[in-house]
């Protein structure tokens, strides 16, 4: 293998985290490889290193291939290998297709794990990160990925985060970054605020798994909602994104059309209070509103506003919620408390009670809902639990009533669908829900108590973190000037390195007084720095733009360079980023376009600041997992006898273990260390295996054992190339080829067509590989002489088409065909083959031969003879098996069917 370790990484190598588990190293050791892949790969990697890189040719179009940059955890896993293999294959293919390719790489290097390492192991986050980057870079160097390291970025580098801060200030000046007090998700384990997106559906932190609590704090936000409409509408432009990801984005943005209604407060002891506004998606249920419910954080919920008899109990109730319940539990809890206030339903003229309950969210709609217990599930439950009313009023009923049922409605459940309005809706009786909703809204508008409204589920992005290892927010708080942005010429606001990590309470930044205390840039008086840092999603929302001009010292990137390279042509990464990272990147890209940071040509696709044209989401890599059938305990590989691959035994008991494929993890002992796999099996066979086992977006069930198939195929192709000496024959005209040549030429052209399609549009590398295997089988089993130009063209095309997937082996094959020395240029610098459409036509027909209706054999019939039963009979009788079935028996009837592709001999 290639030795590229710097002394630094060598030193660190000993500290490599223990590799997950190397499943079946024993087996490889005893298995003799058909080819010495390591030697061949080393030879070519060394040559490439010394070759001068191709200069950018301005006459060629650009192609920007991007794989999601990794978090430098210090260990490469199979998932990384999969993404980089895919992006490397695509970029090498595009180079051969005549593009200037951009294929950069960098590190998403800020974030909690580094800080946790500091707390747990006393190693500085900076040191930990730098070490990990060195280790991973070395591991990546073994995979033969053609990254452009000259553009490498690390988000924790002041030369990078300086520009993250710059962009923050741009957002601030454009009114897109602001501060507000907010109920936040507080992670009691990591002691930090989490974005809503970082809380899972069970109300737990995405990272620590702790139940999240609610807390009120002043926080920084990006105004993503300003772009809500564009972010939603422009999903339709993303023709080359997976439908599933687009739907996830749509749901996340969650546009909802409805109405806002005002309910006047009627309580005599609360005369000058503003009306309560509610947002509803069902204005047709207005006559069924029997109470109102406020979120606990609603501005009305204060001692001054509440009637004195109720104030204490309401405020206690709210305080209790904040203290002991996490957000999610609170929302599920249907318990509420009566405020003592009443409001008027403007349509029924009833006074209805006003409650407070946590199932109403403070940051959706108006933070208040109209309670329609008969038609909304949550309202129904709330009403039951709190005994709000005796009788729920059904104002909508199904359009077609079940004939068997009486006309009495089932009051044990809410009726949530739309339907026809009942007599309880007065003048609107008999109208359909939709129509009635419109009419009621119109009436409300003329009474001045309502108007149409649209709501988004999407919220502004809470970006501040009470953490150390992130980009400091470039803001200064001055007692007289208040919030003062750091002047751009003072950037970066450096993250101080000499801080203490205790893991408790305030962040190390807040405790570092000599850093916190500073001069106000406006009045020069004493002031304090903002001690919050930015969410790491901020760093990754613009890195693909920095790659277009990574060394710029004046700006985040040069507008001209960015404009010519953006958008990214293809973006490859995990589906776990289907919502947040992609949404935030879309927001940044749109906001920066609007601010003129770069421009788009008129016909740019997808357009309107969309950053990624094709999105390829790769599936996970699962590992072979063994479990004890009795205890369900995960078994270590050494506990299982794998000598018979198809029927492994538990060594201790002799029983068969349960076998499944699951996400690789330490606790399941099913991990595979990519570095040892490539060292043992070869880089190219590993790459091929990854691409062949599953289409990119599907789960890949990793089985090291089956790499042997790819190793054998590569050795076959190498043999084929070695036996091919190129003569300078030109391809003859189609008409002067022999039948066999004609067929080989057809198969070659057909394969070129198919593989080009797989590489440029469908990214189905697995079918590309099987097409190439078919081509190689065809060549090696054909009777066409190696001296034939058609034969040589077939092998050359085969090797060229393999090159993006198996660069080293293809170079070796190419060299063995062309001979060493000057003549043998790199296969990677060859032009991708094209196909001749006329050659695709079949010159022969495969004809199935039946005898007395039973299929017995098949023969190839020249196209000119297809359909000529007598000629086919001659061909059949001339063949050996044909002889056997027909012997000398006379044929009674000869039936030709399917345009000459089937013939039946009735004897
Ligand atoms: C009355 C009603 C009657 C409702 C009915 C639904 C069905 P989407 O579609 O997701 O936008 N709602 C409004 N604001 C809320 C808040 N802050 N917290 C919790 N729930 C809130 O949902 C809109 C519906 O969610 C609104 O329509 C409201 O309940 C509730 F038969 O109003 B509805
Ligand atoms: Zn000041």
Ligand nearest to the CA of 518: 2
C-alpha 486 to ligand 2 mean position (Å) = 12
User: Considering the entire predicted model, what is its pTM?
Assistant: 0.86
Nearest ligand 1 atom to alpha carbon 288:
3
Mean pLDDT calculated for residue range 844-851: 87
Cα separation of the two ends of the chain: 66
Residue nearest to atom 12 of ligand 1 (CA): 369
Q: Hunting for tokens 């054992």 — which residue is that?
A: 705
C-alpha 281 to ligand 1 mean position (Å) = 6
Gap between the Cα atoms of 311 and 294, Å rounded: 14
* Per-residue pLDDT tens digits for 380-428: 999 999 999 999 999 999 987 655 455 567 888 999 999 999 999 999 9
pLDDT, position 2: 30
pLDDT, position 10: 28
Mean pLDDT calculated for residue range 503-532: 92
Could you tell which of 183, 254, 281 is best to mutate to test the pocket of ligand 1, judged by most ligand atoms within 8 Å of the CB?
281
* Per-residue pLDDT tens digits for 46-77: 998 887 777 889 999 999 999 999 999 999 99
The SS3 assignment for 260 reads strand
Model confidence at 9, pLDDT cuts 50, 70, 90, reads: very low
Nearest ligand 1 atom to alpha carbon 363:
17
Residue nearest to atom 33 of ligand 1 (CA): 280
pLDDT, position 504: 66
Gap between the Cα atoms of 652 and 635, Å rounded: 11
pLDDT, position 23: 39
Sequence-ordered alpha helix ranges (H) in 433-519? 433-447, 508-511, 513-516
Ligand nearest to the CA of 523: 2
Contacts 24+ apart (CB under 8 A), 818-821: 818/726
Nearest ligand 1 atom to alpha carbon 256:
11
Ligand nearest to the CA of 524: 2
C-alpha 295 to ligand 1 mean position (Å) = 13
Nearest ligand 1 atom to alpha carbon 367:
17
Nearest ligand 1 atom to alpha carbon 295:
17
Q: What beta strand segments (E) does 678-761 contain?
A: 700-702
C-alpha 495 to ligand 2 mean position (Å) = 22
Which is more confident, 873 or 806? Answer: 806
Backbone angles phi, psi at 850, to 5 degrees: -110, 145
pLDDT, position 31: 60
DSSP readout, 76-138? --HHHHHHHHHHHHHHHHHHHTT-EEE-EEEE---SHHHHHHHHHH---HHHHHHHHHHHHHH
Residues with beta carbon inside 6 Å of ligand 1? 256, 279-282, 285, 295, 360-361, 364-365, 367, 369-370, 372, 375-376, 455
Ligand nearest to the CA of 483: 2
C-alpha 476 to ligand 2 mean position (Å) = 9
C-alpha 529 to ligand 2 mean position (Å) = 12
Could you tell which of 257, 369, 456 is best to mutate to test the pocket of ligand 1, judged by most ligand atoms within 8 Å of the CB?
369
DSSP readout, 571-621? EEEEGGGTTHHHHHHHHHHHHHHHTTSS---TT-SS-TT--EEEEEEEPPE
C-alpha 313 to ligand 2 mean position (Å) = 43
pLDDT, position 740: 92
* Per-residue pLDDT tens digits for 661-674: 999 988 899 999 99
The SS3 assignment for 881 reads helix
* Per-residue pLDDT tens digits for 885-895: 888 888 888 88
C-alpha 324 to ligand 1 mean position (Å) = 26
C-alpha 426 to ligand 1 mean position (Å) = 23
Nearest ligand 1 atom to alpha carbon 371:
1
Q: CB count, 10 Å around CB of 233?
A: 12
Residue nearest to atom 5 of ligand 1 (CA): 376
Spell out which residues have Cβ within 5 A of ligand 2, the ion.
Answer: 478, 480-481, 520, 522-523
pLDDT, position 865: 82
* Per-residue pLDDT tens digits for 417-462: 999 999 999 999 999 999 999 999 999 999 999 999 999 999 999 9
Among residues 834, 838, 861, the alpha carbon closest in space to that of 733 is found at 838
Residue nearest to atom 14 of ligand 1 (CA): 365
Model confidence at 869, pLDDT cuts 50, 70, 90, reads: confident
Measured CA distances, 62 to 59, 97, 102 (Å) = 9, 11, 7
Model confidence at 326, pLDDT cuts 50, 70, 90, reads: low
- Is residue 135 within 8 Å of residue 13, measured between CB atoms? yes
Among residues 167, 199, 182, the alpha carbon closest in space to that of 460 is found at 182
Strands laid side by side in the 450-456 sheet: 276-280, 255-263, 450-456
Ligand nearest to the CA of 453: 1
Q: Is the pLDDT of residue 788 over 60?
A: yes
- Is residue 223 within 8 Å of residue 229, measured between CB atoms? no
State the helix-helix crossing angle for 765-781 and 739-757, rounded to 10 degrees: 170
Task: Pick the most confident of 74-78, 839-843, 896-900.
Answer: 74-78
Residue nearest to atom 26 of ligand 1 (CA): 280
Model confidence at 320, pLDDT cuts 50, 70, 90, reads: confident
pLDDT, position 402: 53
Nearest ligand 1 atom to alpha carbon 366:
17
Measured CA distances, 763 to 261, 570, 614 (Å) = 51, 11, 11
In Å, how far from its chain's centre is CA 308? 53
C-alpha 633 to ligand 1 mean position (Å) = 46
C-alpha 168 to ligand 2 mean position (Å) = 20
- Is residue 93 within 8 Å of residue 758, measured between CB atoms? no
Model confidence at 197, pLDDT cuts 50, 70, 90, reads: low
C-alpha 171 to ligand 2 mean position (Å) = 21
Q: CB count, 10 Å around CB of 732?
A: 15
C-alpha 255 to ligand 1 mean position (Å) = 13
- Is residue 683 within 8 Å of residue 143, measured between CB atoms? yes
Ligand nearest to the CA of 478: 2
State the helix-helix crossing angle for 243-253 and 580-594, rounded to 10 degrees: 70
Tokens of 426: 């007065």
Nearest ligand 1 atom to alpha carbon 396:
31
pLDDT, position 692: 97
Tokens of 195: 């974005």
* Per-residue pLDDT tens digits for 334-386: 899 999 999 999 999 999 999 999 999 988 999 999 999 999 999 999 999 99
Non-local (6+) Cβ contacts of 759 within 8 A are 89, 90, 93, 765, 768, 804
Nearest ligand 1 atom to alpha carbon 374:
31
Gap between the Cα atoms of 231 and 579, Å rounded: 12
State the helix-helix crossing angle for 789-802 and 707-722, rounded to 10 degrees: 140
Mean pLDDT of the residues in the chain? 90
How many percent of the chain have pLDDT more than 90? 73
Could you tell which of 250, 252, 263, 280 is best to mutate to test the pocket of ligand 1, judged by most ligand atoms within 8 Å of the CB?
280
Backbone angles phi, psi at 772, to 5 degrees: -70, -35
C-alpha 467 to ligand 2 mean position (Å) = 26
Model confidence at 20, pLDDT cuts 50, 70, 90, reads: very low
* Per-residue pLDDT tens digits for 28-38: 444 677 899 99
C-alpha 178 to ligand 2 mean position (Å) = 19
Q: Hunting for tokens 């691409």 — which residue is that?
A: 691
Which is more confident, 1 or 843? Answer: 843
Nearest ligand 1 atom to alpha carbon 359:
19
Could you tell which of 250, 279, 362, 396 is best to mutate to test the pocket of ligand 1, judged by most ligand atoms within 8 Å of the CB?
279
Beta partners for 356? 294, 337
pLDDT, position 6: 30
Could you tell which of 365, 370, 374 is best to mutate to test the pocket of ligand 1, judged by most ligand atoms within 8 Å of the CB?
365
- Residue 765: DSSP 8-state: H
pLDDT, position 200: 83
Domains delineated in the chain: 7-159+540-618 (3.40.50.620), 165-223+463-536 (no CATH), 255-456 (3.90.740.10), 706-840 (1.10.730.10), 844-906 (3.10.20.590)
Sequence-ordered alpha helix ranges (H) in 399-528? 433-447, 508-511, 513-516
* Per-residue pLDDT tens digits for 628-683: 999 999 999 899 998 888 889 999 999 999 999 999 988 899 999 999 999 999 99
Measured CA distances, 768 to 241, 747, 755, 765 (Å) = 21, 14, 5, 5
Among residues 512, 517, 523, the alpha carbon closest in space to that of 484 is found at 523
C-alpha 516 to ligand 2 mean position (Å) = 15
Residue nearest to atom 32 of ligand 1 (CA): 280
Residue 905: its H or E element: strand 902-906
Q: Is the pLDDT of residue 18 over 50?
A: no
* Per-residue pLDDT tens digits for 70-126: 999 999 999 999 999 999 999 999 999 999 999 999 999 999 889 888 888 889 999
Ligand nearest to the CA of 528: 2
């Amino acid at each position: 293998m290639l030795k590229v370790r710097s002394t630094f990484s060598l030193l660190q190598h000993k500290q490599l985290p223990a590799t997950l588990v190397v499943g079946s190293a024993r087996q490889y050791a005893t298995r003799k490889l058909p080819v010495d892949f390591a030697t061949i790969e080393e030879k070519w990697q060394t040559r490439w290193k010394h070759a001068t890189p191709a200069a950018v040719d301005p006459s060629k179009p650009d192609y920007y291939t991007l794989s999601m940059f990794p978090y430098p955890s210090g260990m490469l896993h199979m998932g990384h290998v999969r993404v980089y293999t895919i992006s490397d294959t695509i970029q090498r293919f595009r180079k051969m297709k005549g593009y200037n390719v951009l294929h950069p790489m960098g590190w998403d290097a800020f974030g909690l794990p580094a800080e946790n390492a500091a707390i747990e192991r006393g190693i500085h986050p900076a040191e930990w990160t730098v070490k990990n980057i060195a280790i991973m870079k070395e591991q990546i160097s073994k995979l033969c990925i053609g990254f452009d390291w000259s553009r490498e970025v690390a988000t924790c580098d002041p030369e990078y985060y300086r520009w993250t801060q710059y962009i923050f200030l741009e957002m601030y000046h454009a009114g897109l970054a602001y501060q507000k007090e907010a109920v936040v998700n507080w992670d009691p384990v990591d002691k930090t605020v989490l974005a809503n997106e970082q809380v899972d559906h069970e109300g737990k932190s995405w990272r620590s798994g702790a139940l999240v609590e609610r807390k009120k704090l002043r926080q920084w936000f990006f105004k993503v909602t300003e772009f809500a409409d564009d972010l939603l509408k422009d999903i339709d432009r993303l023709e080359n994104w997976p439908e599933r990801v687009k739907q996830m984005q749509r749901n996340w943005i969650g546009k909802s059309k409805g109405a806002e209604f005002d309910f006047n407060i009627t309580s005599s002891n609360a005369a000058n209070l503003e009306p309560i506004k509610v947002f509803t998606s069902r204005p047709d249920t207005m006559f069924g509103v029997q109470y109102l419910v406020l979120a606990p954080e609603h501005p009305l919920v204060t001692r001054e506003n509440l009637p004195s008899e109720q104030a204490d109990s309401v405020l206690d109730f709210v305080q209790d919620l904040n203290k002991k319940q996490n957000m999610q539990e609170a929302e599920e809890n249907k318990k509420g408390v009566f405020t003592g206030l009443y409001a008027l339903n403007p349509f029924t003229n009833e006074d209805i009670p006003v409650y407070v309950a946590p199932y109403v969210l403070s940051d959706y709609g108006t933070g208040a809902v109209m309670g329609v217990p008969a038609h909304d599930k949550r309202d129904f439950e709330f009403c039951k639990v709190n005994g709000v009313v005796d009788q729920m009023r059904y104002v909508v009923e199904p359009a077609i009533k079940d004939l068997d049922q009486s006309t009495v409605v089932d009051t044990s459940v809410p009726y949530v669908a739309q339907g026809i309005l009942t007599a309880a809706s007065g003048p609107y009786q008999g109208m359909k829900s939709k129509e009635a909703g419109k009419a009621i809204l119109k009436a409300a508008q003329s009474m001045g108590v309502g108007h149409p409204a649209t709501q988004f589920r999407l919220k502004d992005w809470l970006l501040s973190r009470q953490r150390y290892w992130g980009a400091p927010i470039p803001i200064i708080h001055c007692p007289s000037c208040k919030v003062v942005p750091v002047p751009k010429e003072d950037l970066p606001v450096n993250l101080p390195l000499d801080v203490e990590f205790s893991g408790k309470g305030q962040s190390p930044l807040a405790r570092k007084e000599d850093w916190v205390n500073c001069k106000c840039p406006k009045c020069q008086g004493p002031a304090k720095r903002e001690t919050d840092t930015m969410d790491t999603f901020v760093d990754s929302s613009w890195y693909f733009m920095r790659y277009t001009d990574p060394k710029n010292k004046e700006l985040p990137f040069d507008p001209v360079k960015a404009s010519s390279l953006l958008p990214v042509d293809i973006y490859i990464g995990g589906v776990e980023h289907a919502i947040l990272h992609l949404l935030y990147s879309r927001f940044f890209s749109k906001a920066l376009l609007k601010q003129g940071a770069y421009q788009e040509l008129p016909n740019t696709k997808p357009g309107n600041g969309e950053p990624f044209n094709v999105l390829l989401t790769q599936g996970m890599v699962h590992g072979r997992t063994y479990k004890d059938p009795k205890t369900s305990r995960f078994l270590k590989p050494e506990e299982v006898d794998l000598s018979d691959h198809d029927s492994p035994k538990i060594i201790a008991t002799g029983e068969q273990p349960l076998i499944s494929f699951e996400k690789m993890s330490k606790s399941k002992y099913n991990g595979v260390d990519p570095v040892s796999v490539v060292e043992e099996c070869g880089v190219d066979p590993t790459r091929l295996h990854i691409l062949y086992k599953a289409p990119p977006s599907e789960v890949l069930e990793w089985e090291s054992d089956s790499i042997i198939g790819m190793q054998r195929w590569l050795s076959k192709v190498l043999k084929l190339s070695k036996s091919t000496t190129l003569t300078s024959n030109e391809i003859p005209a189609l008409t002067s080829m022999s039948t066999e040549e004609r067929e080989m030429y057809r198969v070659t052209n057909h394969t070129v067509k198919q593989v080009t399609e797989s590489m440029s549009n469908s990214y189905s590398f697995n079918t590309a590989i099987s097409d190439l295997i078919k081509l190689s089988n065809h060549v090696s089993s054909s009777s066409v002489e190696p001296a034939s130009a058609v034969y040589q063209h077939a092998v050359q095309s085969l090797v060229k088409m393999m090159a993006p997937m198996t660069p080293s082996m293809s170079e070796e094959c190419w060299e063995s065909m062309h001979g060493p020395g000057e003549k043998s240029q790199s296969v990677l610098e060859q032009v991708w083959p094209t196909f001749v459409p006329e050659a695709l036509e079949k010159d022969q027909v495969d004809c199935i031969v039946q005898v007395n209706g039973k299929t017995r054999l098949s023969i190839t019939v020249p196209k000119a003879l297809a359909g000529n039963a007598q000629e086919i009979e001659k061909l059949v009788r001339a063949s050996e098996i044909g002889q056997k079935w027909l012997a000398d028996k006379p044929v009674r009837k000869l039936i030709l069917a399917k345009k000459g592709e089937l013939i039946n001999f009735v004897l």
